[in-house]
Structure 1
Amino acid sequence: MVEGLSAWISIESPTHSAEGVNRMMDVAAAAVADAPVEVERLPGREGLGDTLVLRAGPVSNEKPILVLSHLDTVHPIGTLERDLPVRIEGDRLYGPGSYDMKGGAYLALMAFKEVARAGTARRPLVFLLTPDEEIGSPTTRTLIEDLGQGAGAVLVTEPARDGGKIVTSRKGVGRFDVTVEGRPAHSGSRHADGRNAIREAARQILTIEGLTDYPRGVTTSVGLISGGTAMNTIPQFCRFSVDIRVASVADGAELQAWMLGLKATDPDFKVTVTGGMNRPPYERTPEVAALFERARALAADLGIDLQDVPRTGGGSDGNFTAALGVPTLDGLGIDGDGAHTLQEYGLVSSLVPRARLMASLLETL
């Protein structure tokens, strides 16, 4: 498994590299070519990579088990060579996407393949491998929701947390782009004529960041900003992006309305906002809790003391299916740390136990 996963990590597949993502789809499809798995490949859209839908198990009227994985990463091409080469140090397997989430996708695919070969699944099985989760799943959300709506349970192979714990609730995610337009002028001879878009953006950013309310479960963050054309020119434009995380649907609706209604502090400026709540909250409903208890019992049979974490701030494709009321378990991937950083690693020792747990879930749910 280490050899196979290392080969996956060695293929750089940032979301906006359709070529890299499609190489990963090629490898995943080839991995199940010798098993009784039906492979459907959907062409990419909007310049993004393809999508794979794998089907196995019995043909019946039972609702299928749906597995969700993504093969895109956040690391740009060249990270492998410059900053994060594939290597093993002790129990750690380093490399771009090793933890988020090629490790989880790989171990789940191996489990899916073995269960398909053994013919031991009780329900039909569907495995969806997507190319765009890291940017909010813009081209695959509809497919995820369509497949999820008809599923009996959804298993998401995002990485494990805090020593192997799985995820049973997540915050909702909002993404907004803000453009501030002022008035350009020469910063020396016509300073008074200008209206500095960066200054107005700074006012807006302080207000937006001030909405963070930890007890309420709300966080706001401005992570990208650009503006101006030259040092000696009063900038006409400034643009920034806002990330919002919420614990409830109501908070998401309130903050979305607030953001889309954002006004300039001065009539000489124009503020334009686009975007919205990208992922609904994934709540730990009684159905999710019951599914977790079943998974916990199966894990105990394998000698694993399975625990879950309190609500996590990160979103995933599991948010979409959970919001439909479909029992969803997340964080079933590899254990490790350093997602989205140059210290990312997966724990080798977690590969086999997590693959066995996934196989058990596919066979018995």
Structure 2
Amino acid sequence: MPNPETEILAWLAAQKGAMLDALREMVDTDGGSYDKEGVDRVGAQVARFMAAQGIPVETLPQPRFGDCLRATVDDGSGTGGGNDRRNIVLMGHRDTVFPKGEPARRPFTIDGDRAYGPGVADMKAGLVMNMFVLAAFRKFGGAPGPLVGLFTGDEEIGSPEGRPVIEAEARSARAVFNSEPGRPNNGIVTGRKGGVFSVFDIEGKAAHSGGNFEQGVSAIGELAAKITAIHALTDLSRGITLNVGLVSGGQSVNTVAPHAQGQIDLRYVEPADREEVMAKIEAIVARSHVPGTRATLTIKGEFLPLTQTPAAAKLFHLYEGAARDSGFATSGEFSGGCADSGFTAAVGAPTLCAVGPVGGKAHSPEEYLEIGSLVPRAQALARSILRLDATGL
């Protein structure tokens, strides 16, 4: 009788060329977070692939950003324990940080052992890997329960529409594998910071800076005072960082500034730190250092921290062995970056992040993918799924 594990691993070993072809098409398709049409074109590629493999796909329409796609592989052959009918989720986002037209300016290329292009590692290679792993289980069976491939469209801006879909899926998940890019040392991510992205808008009063300076109220003067106070909340010993990374304001050089804006990036480790620091930010925004100014604070996006629970630790040790048997050693790392994996962990799903193919220099023109990692990382994911019953999860 055929052995599904042997067949799955052998089939994946033969798919490197097909994976690269799919990756080329995906990288060469526009897909910035605010380009819904482009992100949905990437989704259409995923849907075509799934249809060709006989895998049903449900489209969950989203009004502003890329639609969410939910692919399912369930042949009813799961033989695990009491939890074997809970979904095993393979997750990834289709959007990138790059402006429209970037693939035309900088298309997918291969140079030696590396591939380049916008989003090649973060995280289109992970999407392709998930597609082929799902196809392998569709062809040969053997999964210890239903598999769900979740392909979202707005992670790079905090998943404002994708988050409810992700959380709903994770609440009933047995395990979640998020295929963000693997680390350059072959590591995966077992912990991440949370992040809050907010904007504060300041209103002052315009006046001619020479003719009636004393009648003006400078929003930019207030902005400067608030930035200094916000940055002072940074506490590196606790992993808390504050960065006002974008500022704007003013009307003209010879006008007392009637308006100004700052955008804040808060990163934290412990969930309780979020409330503490946000309360301090709110107090800073509410206080007027320059009399006569008014300010408002708006949260634009947010990620929750990924924390390693005992169940997630079991999942990591399972992956560690699967990686070893797939030809590489791995380790669990903590990252200051945020990802959708924080949402799944927060609702109780055992979660691993950065199980995708290895890459680096994300969000930059030098972003790269280690081509040789495509097959081994796919095989490690498949082995982890096949052996999930052994964890007791």
Deviations 1:125-146 (A, max 9, x none): 0111001111111112111111
Give the alignment's TM-score, normalised by structure 2. 0.89
Give 2:272's match in structure 1, choosing from 241, 247, 250. Answer: 250
Unaligned runs of 5+ in 1: none
**Gaps spanning 5+ residues in structure 2: where?**
1-18, 79-83, 389-393
Q: How does 1:36-185 map to 2 (within 5 A)?
A: 36-45=54-63, 47-59=64-76, 62-82=85-105, 84-185=106-207
How many residue pairs end up in the alignment? 362
Aligned to 2:369: 346
Q: Find 2:213's aligned residue among 172, 185, 191.
A: 191
Instruction: Tell me the residue number matched to 1:18.
Output: 36
Q: What is the correspondence of 1:329-340 to structure 2 with a 5 Å cutoff?
A: 329-340=352-363
User: Once the two structures are superposed, what CA deviation does each residue of 1:261-299 show, in whole Å capped at 9, x if it has no partner?
Assistant: 322213311121111772222111221111100111122
- Which residue number corresponds to residue 205 of structure 1? 227
Q: Given that residues 11 and 24 in structure 1 are in contact (C-alpha distance below 8 angstroms), is that contact kept between their aligned partners in structure 2?
A: yes
Distance 1:349 1:166 in 2: 16
Aligned-residue sequence identity (percent) comes to 37
Q: Is the 8 A contact 1:125 1:362 kept in 2?
A: no
**Contact 1:70 1:130 survives alignment (8 Å):** yes
Residue in 1 aligned with 2:291? 267
Q: 2 CA distance for matches of 1:189 and 1:247?
A: 50
SS at match of 1:11: coil
| Counterpart residue type for residue 272 of structure 1 | T
Mapped to 1, the partners of 2:128 and 2:74 lie a distance apart of 19
Contact 1:58 1:122 in 2 (8 A): no
Counterpart Cα distance in 2 of 1:2 and 1:35: 17
Asked if structure 2 preserves the Cα contact closer than 8 Å seen for 1:170 and 1:282, the reply is yes
User: For each residue in 1:61-118, what CA deviation from the matched residue of structure 2 results, as whole angstroms up to 9, or x when unmatched?
Assistant: 6211011100000001122233x33211111111000011001111121111111111
Greater than 2 Å deviation, 4+ residue runs: 57-61, 361-364
Contact 1:57 1:122 in 2 (8 A): no
**Counterpart contact for 2:27–2:107, Cα < 8 Å:** no
Amino acid corresponding to residue 279 of structure 1 in structure 2:
F
1:160–1:336 CA contact under 8 A, matched in 2? yes
Cα distance in 2 between the residues matched to 1:261 and 1:203: 13
Q: 1:363, CA displacement in angstroms?
A: 2.7
Residue 376 of structure 2 aligns to which amino acid in structure 1? Answer: P
Residue identity matched to 1:339: A
The amino acid that maps onto 1:114 is A
Distance 1:255 1:294 in 2: 36
**Secondary structure of the structure 2 residue equivalent to 1:284:** coil
Other structure's SS at 1:28 match: helix
